[in-house]
Amino acid sequence: MDMPLISRRFADTTVVFPEGRIDHATAEQFKAALAPHLATCAAGRDRLVIDMTGVEYISSVGLRVLMLASKQAKAQGCALAVCGLQPVVREIFEISRFNLVLQVFPTLREALAALSTEALAAFEAA
Amino acid sequence: MRVRFWGTRGSIPVAMTSAEVKRKLVTALVAAAGRGLDTPGKARAFVEWELDFSVSHTFGGNSSCVQIETGGPDYVVCDLGSGARGLGNTVLATGGPRGHRFHVFMSHLHWDHIMGFPFFMPAYLPGNHVTIYGCHERLEEAFRRQNAAPSFPVDFSRMEARIEFVRLEPERDYEIAGLRVRAKRQHHGGDSYGYRLERDGKVVVYSTDSEHKQDDPEEVRAFVEFFREADLVIFDAQYSLADAISVKEDWGHSSNVVGVEMCQLARARRLCLFHHEPIFDDERIAALLAETRRLEEITRGDHRVEVHAAYDGLELTL
């Protein structure tokens, strides 16, 4: 199963939009699709937001991909945030305590506002 | 088959503090106000049926020890943490001092899993027979070393029961005490082993001190097969998932989230959260249980997994 990973650029920030279920069947594809965006993400010149609005379920394996992404981003000095959790996914984040270890925002706008004023301006203008 | 939990706490035994006892009493007294609980019977019924579990009970603080009642004459036990003390005393109190046969399956040899043996009274009495099974090369040494100076005043040689150590090979079926037993190597410092115990179509999986890194699909599949359609999976859920794969990665423990997922994939009937974090009080473990039940509910497909949290004294009939 392929996991499409649509991305959009707002000034200095890339936003990716995973969809569907991120579980044992799709987590590796999600990881591979995320990798090029993470690779270019570095301190002061790039930021990354994962907009989960289209994700209906995420398993522990999917959460592990987010944790690895967060670790890599931190090592590169890159700001990474997650936003747009659907109710079920939000509960999974809370029960797994991922809401405490990742930057999580209710909406993309709020994520961009926290990460980059330039990206927020570009988002508002789009 | 019935499973009795004598010790359920992870890493180190803990005791409830005075502050926790006081907090429970205050909560209970406020809840009882105006209820006319003027007889022991009424008070007992109120405590049993109306108070929250975390107020009326405690999850307890003994380290790992689980008894599997098979219906046969022998005692079958997983691990000899501090909970083994209560088990041994109960056996002697109810069955007399001699003639008892124990089969013990050791997950591993860390202190919290062997520390009950120096206080396991049947081992000191002639006429009893204890066989300790495990997959670790230094199985016998670990037990002899803790029952010796300078760690303990009573030497292993003073134990007058017949005590044997039997090495098992993982991934191989054995017939022991009327059970089919299979061990599986698990990810933990120095390795640990889970046990799948089967009898008369009932299956218990004892899988503690086991980290599931989930970075290898083959390993995930192997554990799902190990848990396959078990009636009960006793599962190390000491950490949150976030902790288990970040600050506590490679500490050798797992989470409630992975427990639910593995049992769902394996179509196991019951998941029992086990090896509770020693810093958690009763309220925290009760909240963890409620969250885990909720997680099972919102992620359930066509198969329901019944979720429990082990406590010292819990009995589950399969």
Q: What is the pLDDT of residues A79-126, one digit of tens each?
A: 999 999 999 999 999 999 999 999 999 999 999 999 999 999 999 998
Distance, in Å, from the CA atom of B183 to the CA atom of B102, rounded to the nearest integer, reads 18
Q: A63 vs B292: CB contact, 8 Å cut-off? A: no
A92–B contact, CB cutoff 8 A: yes
Q: Which of A29, A71, A95, A99 is most worth mutating to test chain B (most B CB atoms within 10 A of its CB)?
A: A95
Give the least confident one: B56-70, B187-201, B209-223: B209-223
Q: B292 vs A95: CB contact, 8 Å cut-off? A: yes
Q: What is the residue-wise DSSP string for B128-149?
A: -EEEEEES-TTHHHHHHHHTST
Q: B257 vs A96: CB contact, 8 Å cut-off? A: yes
Q: B261 vs A64: CB contact, 8 Å cut-off? A: no
Alpha helix (H) ranges present in A1-126? 27-39, 60-76, 87-96, 98-101, 108-115, 117-125
Q: How many CB atoms lie within 10 A of CB B261?
A: 25
pLDDT in tens, B309-318: 999 999 999 9
pTM: 0.95
Q: Which of A66, A94, A97, A99 is most worth mutating to test chain B (most B CB atoms within 10 A of its CB)?
A: A97
For A90, the token pair is 């939000």
Q: A60 vs B261: CB contact, 8 Å cut-off? A: yes
Q: What is the mean pLDDT of residues B22-49?
A: 96
Domains, chain A, in order of start with CATH, read 6-125 (3.30.750.24)
Distance, in Å, from the CA atom of A7 to the CA atom of A102, rounded to the nearest integer, reads 20
Distance, in Å, from the CA atom of A19 to the CA atom of A41, rounded to the nearest integer, reads 21
Nearest to B295 among A24, A92, A98 (CB): A92
A24–B contact, CB cutoff 8 A: yes
Predicted pLDDT at A42: 75
Distance, in Å, from the CA atom of B207 to the CA atom of B187, rounded to the nearest integer, reads 11
Contacts of B265 in chain A (CB under 8 A): 24
Residue B69 identity = E
pLDDT in tens, B222-262: 999 999 999 999 999 999 999 999 999 999 999 999 999 99
Predicted pLDDT at B250: 93
Predicted pLDDT at A44: 67
Predicted pLDDT at B216: 87
Average per-residue pLDDT for chain B? 97
Share of chain B above pLDDT 70, in %: 100
| Residue B245 C-alpha, separation from nearest chain A C-alpha, in angstroms | 7
B194: helix, strand or coil: strand
Q: What is the mean pLDDT of residues B13-38?
A: 96
B155: helix, strand or coil: coil
Q: Which of B213, B214, B273 is most worth mutating to test chain A (most A CB atoms within 10 A of its CB)?
A: B214
Contacts of A95 in chain B (CB under 8 A): 256-257, 291-292, 294-295
| Residue B111 C-alpha, separation from nearest chain A C-alpha, in angstroms | 28
Residue A2, pLDDT > 70, answer no
Band of pLDDT at residue B280, cut at 50, 70 and 90: very high
Residue B68, pLDDT > 70, answer yes
Predicted pLDDT at A4: 72
Contacts of B17 (CB under 8 A, 6+ apart): none
| Residue B298 C-alpha, separation from nearest chain A C-alpha, in angstroms | 7
Residue B76 identity = V
Chain A and chain B share a number of CB contacts under 8 A equal to 54
Domains, chain B, in order of start with CATH, read 2-15+58-317 (3.60.15.10), 23-56 (no CATH)
Band of pLDDT at residue B294, cut at 50, 70 and 90: very high
Q: How many CB atoms lie within 10 A of CB B309?
A: 22
pLDDT in tens, B146-177: 999 999 999 999 999 999 999 999 999 999 99
A43–B contact, CB cutoff 8 A: no
- Spatial strand order of the sheet with A79-83 comes to A6-10, A13-17, A47-51, A79-83, A104-105
Distance, in Å, from the CA atom of B299 to the CA atom of B297, rounded to the nearest integer, reads 6
Q: What is the mean pLDDT of residues A59-72?
A: 95
| Residue A64 C-alpha, separation from nearest chain B C-alpha, in angstroms | 7
Q: Search chain A and give the residue with CA nearest B246.
A: A67
Contacts of A74 in chain B (CB under 8 A): none
Predicted pLDDT at B215: 83
Contacts of A93 (CB under 8 A, 6+ apart): A63, A85, A99, A102, A104
A101–B contact, CB cutoff 8 A: yes
Q: What is the ipTM of this complex?
A: 0.91
Long-range contacts of A117-126 (CB under 8 A, 24+ apart): A118/A11, A118/A12, A118/A13, A119/A10, A119/A11, A119/A12, A119/A13, A119/A47, A120/A10, A121/A11, A122/A10, A122/A11, A123/A10, A126/A10
Give phi and psi for B66, each to the nearest 5. Answer: -130, 130
Q: What is the mean pLDDT of residues B3-19?
A: 97
Q: Which of A21, A24, A60 is most worth mutating to test chain B (most B CB atoms within 10 A of its CB)?
A: A60
Q: What is the largest CA-CA distance in chain B?
A: 62
List the end-to-end C-alpha distance of chain A, in Å, as a whole number: 32
pLDDT in tens, A26-65: 999 999 999 999 988 876 678 999 999 999 999 999 999 9
Residue A1, pLDDT > 60, answer no
